Amino acid sequence: MLSIGSVAPDFTAETTEGPIRFHDWLGDAWAVLFSHPKSFTPVCTTELGAVARLLPEFHRRGTKVIGLSVDPVESHVGWSADIERTQGHAVTYPMIGDVDLAVSKLYGMLPAETPGTAEGRTAAANATVRTVFVIGPDKQIKLALAYPMTTGRNFDEILRALDSLQLTARHKVATPADWKPGEDVIIAGSVSDEQARQAYPDGWKAPAPYLRIVPQPR
């Protein structure tokens, strides 16, 4: 997979909303690019329904969402009725049909190659695993996750991570384990005590010198 801090590679692709050039589609927004193994499969159906349910929350955070699998666009379109019927939410975000594996290979979305086949990959190894990339307005990758095909993702957690990424991009803070929006945060280690006193004149809690806890900035 691509490294955090690297520029998200640009590409052109066919989607359920027409052809796109990725960086143009991103504009100056945050974005979530996620892959799923295959259309008309059970775990993927629940995942795409979950993203559809949470789409207003992503939009409220100024974040675009786009999905991908190696199925053709027509397959995504035909599947959407099943997703809405079984999950209660229609898919209204674009889905990439990466039939030639170009984007999947560019972003490291495929499982390890399987030796012993004519082209080096079995049909199963041609399906994307469950990757997630959060991309910032600067086109850099801010978060990268990969789940196996049998484990559905928790998109509420991805929203939580997005909240942390956006907060820490605005302020020189970090978020502790299990943090939720509105809870205390940690002054970044790059901020000296002198600098911290200017930003937090009321001081901070410090159970250790390197662990400076303050209320979440607004």
Which residues are identified as catalytic? Answer: 44
Q: What is the distance, to the nearest Å, from the Cα of residue 81 to the centroid of all Cα atoms in its chain?
A: 24
Would you state the torsion angle of the CA atoms of residues 120, 72, 135, 184, taken in this order, to the nearest 10 degrees? -100
Q: Where are the alpha helices (DSSP H) in the chain?
A: 22-26, 42-60, 73-87, 102-106, 155-170, 193-199
Q: Which of 139, 140, 158, 32 is nearest to 96 (CA)?
A: 32
Spatial contact of 142 and 61, defined as CB atoms under 8 Å apart: no
Spatial contact of 120 and 51, defined as CB atoms under 8 Å apart: no
